[in-house]
Structure 1
Amino acid sequence: MADRSASGARRDNYWWRLLATAAAFSLFGLGGLVLRFVLFPPLKLIYRDAEIRKRRARLLIHHAFRAFIGFMHVTGIYTYSFREEEKLRRPGQLVLANHPSLIDVVFLISRIPNANCIVKASLFRNPFMRGAVTTADYIPNDDPERIIELAARSLARGESVVLFPEGTRSVPGKAFRFQRGAAYMALRAQVAPTLVTICCNPPMLMKNIPWYSIPLSRPHFQFEIAAAGEILELHGKPESPLVAREVTRQLKAFFTEECAA
């Protein structure tokens, strides 16, 4: 058994993928610094309007993330596929997804040109990411009520908002633990979410697993996009704890069934 595993690892270019993964993470950090110190400062001179400057910054991040995803793909770190990817390009969507991998948000923003998202407040102090999250005016996750209000305003402006209802990466083998923030956002904005089911087989960049612990075989990421209008009817429903609890239950049931399929 050990010989077959080692042989399989060699056939799937394990050591090359490990080296390429290290290069990719180094490139990601370097890219954050280039955005902050090279590409973003001219935006303040060229675009005096803060709203236009924010959209241009998000577009730069969108293209940078698309290039990063492409780099990891062409170097053989993983393969990926999107089903009905064009649905993500519609403006004003609340995009909800499960969260199996560290790079899920990178994948999603690489497909959404004007994406707003909820990010860890600590990223606003991170030297590699501070420039991106500040200039793009992303929403810090330090105040639940403020998150819901800012997300609703963002949706009303026609921006898409990306959110993981779990609030953190999934733990393989454990049931989803969804927070109610996503339900409150949908209810306040009266927007039926776009649901993205993310599957990664074999798992990669999981919670509490270091980046260098890569799987023996090349992972494949699969993204399935669905409209929540078929499972949720939000229009006219009040924003209340009881309704938010029921919406959260339905979202959890949807993702649990889709990920088990």
Structure 2
Amino acid sequence: MSARLRSTSLPWGVYEHLAMVLGFCALALLCLAWLPLAFALRPVLPQRLGQRLGRRVVMHGFRLYIGLLRLLCACRFDIEAIDALRDQGPMVIVANHPSLLDAVLITSRLPNVVCVMKAEVMDNPLFGAPARMAGYVRNEPPLHVVLRCREALRQGAQVVIFPEGTRTPGYPANPVNPLSRTAALIASRAGVPVQTLIIEFSSPYLGKGWPLQRAPRLPLAGRIRLAQRFEPPRDPRAFTTELEAHLRAELARPTTP
């Protein structure tokens, strides 16, 4: 957008609201397009085949959605670093959680990931059927999460979990919440490494406490970078403390998304 448009607050504000509506409508239309097929195919396909198909559809659908955000909504996302993980086998992928866009960005680059999702998202009529077809895991009860994720890892999948349990309130001033031990327990039980990702945004758009009807501040920039990979933890409690310290240190680095 031109500097002249930026200098006029009303037109730029109108564009920001229009971009928000376009983004939400694009996501809803993509989900609605896949929803009836997910309902129809899940009962008839073998479970493993259905899950692989479901994960591929999610990846390509979210990749298309991100392309639309880039094209129409003045968004810039630097997330290609995640591609290096595609062929590196089972692992638990953990990240900080500043925005509702986090899982969308990660799953758009990886073809065989299982996300640990909030129960209310799994029960949402728009997202639930595609998520269940892809074999995503409801985030409760804890033992169920650990066992389901261990099974997925043994089948060759990669598990994505946000160990804060919810979006970070007060981002970016507050970089990360205290972590739960779920990610450490999953990796310990499955005997797989833990790969950390660092997610950074130029704005707290769609973060904790950001109303859905409130327009973003554009242009919106986001970046995901690879951080440290840890060996399978032996002591989940001690590892969780180490993991939280690592995320805080990485997020304190002076970088610009």
- 2:54 corresponds to which of 50, 53, 57: 57
8 Å CA contact retained: 1:33, 1:127: no
SS at 1:24 equivalent:
helix
Paired residue type of 1:53: G
| CA root-mean-square deviation | 2.2
Q: Using the alignment, how far apart are the partners of 1:234 and 1:66 within structure 2? A: 30
Q: Using the alignment, how far apart are the partners of 1:186 and 1:180 within structure 2? A: 10
- 1:125 corresponds to which of 120, 123, 126: 123
Q: Which residue of 2 aligns with 1:218?
A: 219
Q: Which residue of 2 aligns with 1:255?
A: 247
SS at 1:177 equivalent:
coil
8 Å CA contact retained: 1:202, 1:218: no
Q: Which residue of 2 aligns with 1:187?
A: 188
Q: Which residue of 2 aligns with 1:162?
A: 160
Cα distance, 1:18 vs structure 2? 2.1
- 1:69 corresponds to which of 66, 69, 75: 66
Paired residue type of 2:225: E
SS at 1:35 equivalent:
helix
Q: Using the alignment, how far apart are the partners of 2:188 and 2:219 within structure 1? A: 40
Give the unaligned 5+ runs of structure 2: 1-5
SS at 1:221 equivalent:
strand
Q: Report Cα offsets for 1:175-199 as digits up to 9, x if no partner.
A: 5211110111111112111111000
- Following TM superposition, the consecutive aligned residue runs of length 4 or more in structure 1 with deviations greater than 4 angstroms are 8-11, 42-45
8 Å CA contact retained: 2:167, 2:208: yes
Q: What TM-score results when the alignment is normalised by the length of structure 2?
A: 0.87
8 Å CA contact retained: 1:40, 1:57: no
Q: Which residue of 2 aligns with 1:116?
A: 114
**Equivalent runs, 1:1-261 vs 2, <5 Å:** 7=7, 13-38=12-37, 41-42=40-41, 47=45, 49-82=46-79, 84-90=81-87, 91-171=89-169, 172=171, 173-174=173-174, 175-229=176-230, 233-234=231-232, 237=234, 243-261=235-253
> What is the identity percentage for the equivalent residue pairs of Structure 1 and Structure 2?
28
**Range 174-183 or range 193-202, more displaced:** 174-183
Give the unaligned 5+ runs of structure 1: 1-5, 238-242
Cα distance, 1:42 vs structure 2? 4.5
8 Å CA contact retained: 2:199, 2:225: yes
8 Å CA contact retained: 2:163, 2:182: yes
8 Å CA contact retained: 2:95, 2:196: yes
SS at 1:80 equivalent:
strand
Q: Using the alignment, how far apart are the partners of 2:75 and 2:203 within structure 1? A: 10
Q: Using the alignment, how far apart are the partners of 2:209 and 2:126 within structure 1? A: 21
CA gap 1:176/1:42 in 2 versus in 1, 3 angstroms: closer
Q: Report Cα offsets for 1:37-62 as digits up to 9, x if no partner.
A: 146524655x4x22111111111111
**Range 189-198 or range 23-32, more displaced:** 23-32
